Amino acid sequence: MQMARIARLVSAIVFSAACCCKVTGAAPSPAAAPQAVVTPPVVHYRLSAIFCVKLSPKGSRLAVGAFHRVLVYDTTTWKLIAVCSMVSGGARAIAFSPDGKTIAIGCGLPDRDGIALLWDGVTGHRPRILKGADDVIEALAFSNDGRMLVTASDDHNVRVYQNLPSQKNTVLTEHNDQVQTVAFSPNPAIPFLSGGRDHMVKAWDQKTLQSVANLDQYGDGVTCVAFINDTQFVAGSLDGHLYWAGIGYDNRDKDWNSYFFRDEFADDGGINGLAVTANRQIILTCGMDGAETLWQSDGRRLRVDHISHFPLYTVDISGDGKTAYGGGRDGMIYQWTTANGAITHIQAPPPLPGLVLRRKLVVHKPAKRLLTRTKHLK
pLDDT of residue 88: 93
Contact 242, 285 (CB under 8 A): yes
Contacts within 8 Å (CB) and 24+ apart, 216-219: 217/260, 218/243
Query: What dihedral angle (degrees, nearest 10) is formed by the CA atoms of 161, 155, 52, 306?
Result: -140
Whether 68 is covered by a domain: the verdict is: yes
pTM score: 0.83
Whether 357 is covered by a domain: the verdict is: no
pLDDT of residue 31: 46
Whether 312 is covered by a domain: the verdict is: no
In terms of Cβ atoms closer than 10 Å to its own Cβ (0-12, 13-18, 19+), residue 244 is: buried
Q: Distance (Å, rounded) from C-alpha 21 to C-alpha 114?
A: 72
pLDDT of residue 53: 98
Whether 294 is covered by a domain: the verdict is: no
The count of structural domains within the chain is: 1
pLDDT of residue 268: 86
Whether 92 is covered by a domain: the verdict is: yes
Helix (H) or strand (E) segment spanning residue 5: helix 2-24
Whether 203 is covered by a domain: the verdict is: no
Q: Distance (Å, rounded) from C-alpha 323 to C-alpha 334?
A: 10
Whether 13 is covered by a domain: the verdict is: no
List residues bridging with 339 in a β-sheet.
none
Q: What is the CATH number of the domain that holds 114?
A: 2.40.10
Residue 104 belongs to domain spanning = 50-143
The per-residue b/e assignment along 308-334, b for 16 or more CB within 10 angstroms, e otherwise, is: bebbbbbbbbbeebebbbbbbbbbbbb
pLDDT of residue 364: 41
Q: Going residue by residue through the chain (378 aa), what tens digit of pLDDT does each one get?
A: 444 454 454 454 444 444 443 333 333 444 444 567 788 888 988 899 999 999 999 999 999 999 999 999 999 999 999 999 999 999 999 999 999 999 999 999 999 899 999 998 777 788 999 988 999 999 999 999 999 999 999 999 999 999 888 889 999 999 999 999 999 999 999 999 999 999 999 999 999 999 999 999 999 999 999 999 999 999 999 999 999 999 999 998 889 999 999 999 999 889 999 999 999 999 999 999 999 999 999 999 999 999 999 999 999 999 999 999 999 999 999 999 999 999 999 999 999 876 544 444 444 444 444 344 333 333
pLDDT of residue 153: 97
By three-state DSSP, how is residue 312 classified?
strand
Whether 131 is covered by a domain: the verdict is: yes
